[in-house]
């Protein structure tokens, strides 16, 4: 897509979301569920960075999401910090988690990487479930949403204020994500996905690139988790479970892996779709599962990816099409064995 068209559509989407509090009631949607869409979209972006662009099956991102949530909740509960600090501390928690796990995850690629990330995620899940005195265990942690700002100048964060904060953070994350994937660093990640051996032969240390990607993903998922905890005023162990990771992956695939706006589209469909369907019928899980199956079989490029493929003619040369790798008929890529 040409740069100017992209800028205009992007601005239009942001403007649409900015009018959220007025539009949402018109379609019988609660503003806080749209907040949830924005928050989850950030976590889905983290999966997108690893899976969509770098080609690493990231099935353990819920661990960082949960660490972010608990980091925020614990700091609010025991240290009485305010909104911004809570988000920062949550992100820091998740980053530390990423730092701890990255050396282990780096040693493998492909499905082994995926299974390792599930395994580590489960270890964190068990810890959260057990540690009852500090974290409340399976009862979870109830917190009161703190003020936003400094002691001298602050305001209480009600649902609409939260929405705009979430929107601002999302836009910031989106811009950051976009510039990451379009930078030489980002292009190297795509190159790693296509053929890591070749990248190494070119003299680049692919491990270092993946390490940074892992940390970035951990940070993003951490921000998302911290915001989520502040949204629902609660932190609980299920946030760390591998099923949660699976839902992030589903959202990414739905929206379009390897695209910049895919995570938002996917999160929107997943969060709001699940909410609507679960209100209509208790059989929503059948629909969700069927959606998963249909998506993997028929639309692996996701909504935005499929649309982009249709308008491929208008793609400017040099544009990054990371989504093409998800085409059902894409040539198989050479696996790298470290």
User: C-alpha distances in angstroms, 40 versus 104, 179, 231, 270, 327?
Assistant: 26, 20, 11, 10, 25
99-118 positions binding another protein, by CB under 8 A: 104, 107-112, 114-116
C-alpha 216/C-alpha 211 separation (Å) is: 9
In the complex, the smallest distance separating the C-beta of residue 95 from another protein, rounded to whole angstroms, is: 21
Instruction: Transcribe 248-313 into DSSP letters.
Output: HHHHHHHH-TT-SSHHHHHHHHHHHHHHHHHHH-TTHHHHHHHHHHHHHHH-TTHHHHHHHHHTGG
User: C-alpha distances in angstroms, 62 versus 75, 133, 292?
Assistant: 20, 22, 18
Which stretch in 84-92, 134-142, 175-183, 184-192 sits in contact with another protein by CB under 8 A? 134-142
Count of residues that bind another protein according to CB under 8 A: 81
Interface with another protein includes 19 (CB under 8 A)?
Answer: no
Q: Give me the torsion for CA of 241, 243, 248, 251, rounded to 10°.
A: -160
273-302 positions binding another protein, by CB under 8 A: 273, 275-276, 278-280, 282-286, 288-293, 295-298, 300
CA 87 from centre of chain: 15
Figure out which of the listed residues 52, 68, 136, 146 binds another protein, where binding follows CB under 8 A: 136
C-alpha 239/C-alpha 236 separation (Å) is: 6
Interface with another protein includes 149 (CB under 8 A)?
Answer: no
In the complex, the smallest distance separating the C-beta of residue 141 from another protein, rounded to whole angstroms, is: 9
Interface with another protein includes 337 (CB under 8 A)?
Answer: yes
Which stretch in 21-29, 81-89, 177-185, 204-212 sits in contact with another protein by CB under 8 A? 21-29
When the beta carbons of 36 and 177 are compared against another protein, the nearer one is 36
Interface with another protein includes 233 (CB under 8 A)?
Answer: yes
When the beta carbons of 175 and 293 are compared against another protein, the nearer one is 293
| 180 neighbors 52 (Cβ within 8 angstroms) | no
Interface with another protein includes 197 (CB under 8 A)?
Answer: no
In the chain, what's the furthest Cα-to-Cα distance? 59
Figure out which of the listed residues 178, 306, 320, 321 binds another protein, where binding follows CB under 8 A: 306
Interface with another protein includes 1 (CB under 8 A)?
Answer: no
């Amino acid at each position: 897509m040409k740069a100017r068209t992209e800028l205009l559509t992007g601005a239009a989407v942001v403007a649409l979301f900015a009018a959220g509090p007025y539009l949402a009631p018109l379609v019988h949607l609660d503003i806080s569920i749209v907040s949830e869409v924005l928050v989850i979209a950030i976590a889905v972006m983290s999966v997108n960075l690893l899976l969509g662009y770098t080609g690493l099956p990231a099935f353990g991102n819920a661990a960082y999401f949960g660490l972010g949530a608990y980091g925020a909740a614990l700091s609010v509960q025991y240290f009485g910090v305010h909104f911004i600090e809570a988000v920062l501390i949550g992100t820091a928690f998740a980053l530390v988690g990423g730092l701890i796990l990255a050396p282990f995850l780096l040693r493998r690629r492909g499905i082994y990487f995926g299974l390792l990330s599930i395994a580590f995620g489960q270890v964190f899940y068990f810890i959260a479930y057990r540690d009852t005195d500090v974290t409340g265990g399976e009862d979870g942690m109830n917190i009161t949403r703190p003020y936003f700002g400094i002691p001298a100048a602050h305001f209480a964060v009600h649902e609409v204020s939260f929405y705009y904060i979430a929107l601002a953070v999302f836009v910031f994350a989106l811009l950051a994500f976009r510039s990451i994937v379009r930078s030489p660093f980002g292009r190297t990640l795509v190159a790693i996905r296509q053929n890591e051996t070749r990248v190494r032969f070119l003299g680049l240390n692919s491990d270092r690139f993946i390490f940074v990607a892992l940390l970035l993903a951990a940070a993003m998922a951490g921000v998302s988790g911290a915001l989520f905890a502040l949204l629902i005023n609660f932190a609980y162990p299920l946030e760390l479970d591998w099923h949660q990771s699976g839902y992030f992956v589903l959202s990414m695939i739905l929206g379009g892996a390897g695209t910049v706006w895919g995570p938002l589209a996917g999160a929107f469909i997943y969060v709001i779709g699940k909410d609507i369907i679960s209100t209509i019928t208790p059989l929503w899980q059948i629909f969700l599962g069927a959606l998963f199956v249909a998506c993997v079989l028929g639309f692996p490029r996701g909504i935005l990816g499929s649309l982009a493929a249709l308008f491929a003619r208008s793609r400017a040369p040099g544009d990054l099409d990371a989504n093409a790798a998800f085409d059902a008929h894409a040539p198989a890529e050479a696996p790298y064995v470290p």
